[in-house]
Amino acid sequence: MTDTTTEIMVGPVDEIPLGEGRTFVVGDERVAVFRTRSGQLFAVQAECPHKRGPLADGLLGGTMLICPLHSWKFDLRSGDALMGDCGLRTYAVRVDESGQIVVSV
């Protein structure tokens, strides 16, 4: 079995205000992309594994994300849960030379 990665352009980086997240359909998956106040980008699965909360609507503090439904906390760098016992799938994300967000799935 071959492991392949596909890069998909989802839109301009300016579409995500600093300190917020947005959900995009990337291939067959829904991915939440976050832009921290310092401008870093992170991409994780779009729904909380706990109760399927919409993570893009969560609170972002640095690289910590708080789920909007039950306040579970996650580290966006690793996807690790900071409380609870479930983590998030993470995806590589970058901005290309034209300012477009590119997510690898």
pLDDT of residue 28: 87
Query: Are 13 and 103 a contacting pair, CB within 8 Å?
Result: no
pLDDT band at 3 (very low <50, low <70, confident <90, very high): low
pLDDT digits (tens, 9 = 90+) for 47-78: 999 889 999 999 999 999 999 998 899 999 99
Neighbours of 24 (CB within 10 A): 20
Which amino acid, 99?
G
Instruction: Give the domain ranges of the chain.
Output: 7-104
pTM (two decimals): 0.92
In terms of CATH architecture, what is 7-104?
Answer: 3-layer Sandwich (2.102)
Residues 27, 37: Cα–Cα separation, whole Å = 27
Please give the residue that has the higher pLDDT: either 4 or 101. 101
β partners of residue 31 = 24, 45
Residues 36, 62: Cα–Cα separation, whole Å = 6
